[in-house]
Structure 1
């Protein structure tokens, strides 16, 4: 299995601090006030040093800094952090994609300049909506003016590769509100948009409200209408839907996220970060101080396990089919040394008969109907008996 020997060419680094906790968020994040930020950056350095000593990197193709909100770091903290990343991952592709998540309202010009000088060349802004009442209702602290100001600031210091995240299926959101948000988003003329449906996750305020019957969500039909509208509007505007939730102008697809969707190896650094190296997945200790303490004596891993060949094959199908070009049988053969149909023939036949999958010259992809029912498709492979 190729993952057992593949050295990662992708790096994920987690900054767990936020200005506040959004009502829908179950990510490993903590309100910034009173947090030991510099101690945390020191701990990241210790983990990077140990990690690259144990698994020396090849040429790094993508780096992604997520959170939390990485842009809550002050400009001098940001410069210090990025200097350390450069030190431990110095061998970088000339086409390196170096992405950082940002919250509108936390990106003044000085900070953006520190990001640019530190090597960041792609920013993903967590916008979620262009409706201020909706933003307030989901616990965001920015408003639409902050969005415009942040993007103007980023352009003024030279960033051109930018994306925004939007959400649909939010409480009290309607198709008309979604239409207006898409108008405003597309007017920005950005090269990439990520648009996700709300999932009510455990350990969130929304989860509590949902079980008290106090979360006024759109019904399934209205949510489906929003998704159909999103796909149609982005297509009309010249964006390719290259993954279920992601749309890009040619050449601006997220190469880092594609590493996940192609089931490739990657480093996972930071509190609560996940990594996949040499056929083993790991997750780090989540709490800020416990993570810091753990890095003083070794790798700060909470747990790790070896991926069986069956699990890796199932992962290949489930994440690969999120890409609208689908899965490639030659890639499957290269990774596992066997034919795709020999392992998943019956599942493929069932899904093809239900018109959820369709064959391509290279393999299989979701049909138009399958894109709308992706979770049903993925579940088929999760329960599959491989041979």
Structure 2
């Protein structure tokens, strides 16, 4: 049974220099036609692969809150009408600080949204400008305060470290400022230079002054220590929360569970099949005019691929991979399938086996990619 859904809204009022998500400038785009196509995809998918109830809905982008109040109301009403979920479900909207008015907040709150995820990234105004963000630090405080005033209490913020020209002290100041918001959840990601981004072009020209690896590692260590000091539990490599506020959306991925993915460029995992939709709006919307799925690519995973994914996704969680659950799912122990890999990684002190879980060590947290790659069988 599928218990989670991702909904993609690809419109942005500006494009950040590091972002490689599927997005387009909002101005002049056929937003209402896109919402009609999105509704068709949701109806078509649920008619073919129904579910009884979702415990997580995540609306991401792009910038979902760049839509007008009327369009947001239409989107939320559509989700409420077609996707089965209760008040106990986690229902998240991504938002940019500064562009989320109280009227928009009220629309979201009144139509069932109970969690907000703000793309803050930094509290250094100069650095925000350098990475292509249009908000300022004061906008973050204003937006979070407004959300709390409307009634939202489950609020997450994203931070990025390893940014161009960023120092360890600067990142520490950002972390300290973020605690003043008293939110329930944090995500902290290291900057990744992705193709087809402004940063990628600058990096290739040698015009992107990034912190060195040691400084980036020090920023991650600082993030983990500060989160623990302020009462936020690290439950995944990049995610921290107050007790009981772990993101169900994130855990759906790391638990390797099935989920719907709706919208242009969205990915889904249903009945062992991973699918990705067309990203360009026209390519996404045209098949749906004829009640056909807008699938660009699909792949049914082999059993070997399922084993691999269970390990390298599950190891992102601080708790790690449950040996018992792995056996229940696949009929054999990971020790049988990955004996040599596990032994080698334990020897390198990158993973440990304890209390029926296989998990990353502190050293392994810093060298996660090396660990994950080791579980890719030849």
Alignment TM class, shorter chain as reference: over 0.9
Return the alpha-carbon distance in structure 2 between the equivalents of residues 303 and 340 of structure 1: 29
The corresponding residue for 2:332 is 338
Q: Deviations over 1:154-199 (max 9, x none)?
A: 0110000000000000000000101110110011111110000000
- Aligned counterparts of 2:113 and 2:128: Cα–Cα separation in 1: 27
Q: 1:1-387, aligned counterparts within 5 Å?
A: 7-90=1-84, 92-297=85-290, 298-382=292-376, 384-385=377-378
2:87/2:112 contact within 8 Å kept: no
1:13-59 Cα offsets, whole Å, 9 max, x none, are 00000011110000001110100111010000000010000001121
Post-superposition CA distance 1:31-88 (Å, at most 9, x none)? 1010011101000000001000000112111000000000001111111111111111
Please list the CA deviations of residues 124-143 of structure 1 after superposition, one character each: whole Å capped at 9, or x if unmatched: 00000000000000000111
Distance (Å, rounded) in 2 between the aligned partners of 1:133 and 1:52: 46
Which moves more between the two structures, 291-300 or 261-270? 291-300
Runs (4+) off by over 2 Å: none
Query: Is the 2:319–2:357 Cα contact (8 Å) retained in structure 1?
Result: no
Which secondary structure state, in structure 1, belongs to the residue aligned with residue 375 of structure 2?
Answer: helix
TM-score, normalized by length of structure 2?
Answer: 0.98
CA distance in 2, matches of 1:44, 1:57: 18
SS of equivalent residue, structure 1 residue 359: strand
Q: Distance in 1 between matches of 2:331 and 2:359?
A: 21
Report the equivalent of 1:3.
Answer: none
Kindly indicate whether structure 1 or structure 2 has the higher relative contact order, using CA contacts under 8 Å at least 6 residues apart.
1
Task: Measure how far apart 1:93 and its partner are.
Answer: 4.0
Which runs of 5 or more structure 1 residues have no equivalent in the other structure? Answer: 1-6
Q: Offset at 1:8?
A: 1.1
Distance in 2, Cα, partners of 1:85 & 1:161: 20
Q: Secondary structure at the match of 2:119?
A: strand
For these two proteins, the number of residue pairs brought into alignment is 377
**TM superposition shift of 1:89:** 1.1
User: Which stretch of the first structure deviates more once superposed, 79-88 or 166-175?
Assistant: 79-88
Give the drift of 1:289: 2.1
CA positional deviation for 1:292:
1.5
TM-score relative to the length of structure 1: 0.96
Distance (whole Å) between structure 2 residues aligned to residue 334 and residue 58 of structure 1: 23
The two structures, once aligned, show a CA RMSD in angstroms of 0.8
Q: Distance in 2 between matches of 1:64 and 1:225?
A: 31
The answer for unaligned runs of 5 or more in structure 2 is none
- Measure the CA separation in 2 of the matches of 1:156 and 1:279: 42
Query: For 1:305 and 1:224, how far apart are their aligned partners in 2?
Result: 35
Distance 2:276 2:111 in 1: 27
Give the Cα separation in 1 of the matches to 2:282 and 2:51: 27
* CA-CA distance at 1:94 after TM superposition: 4.4
| Residue 4 (structure 1) aligns with | none
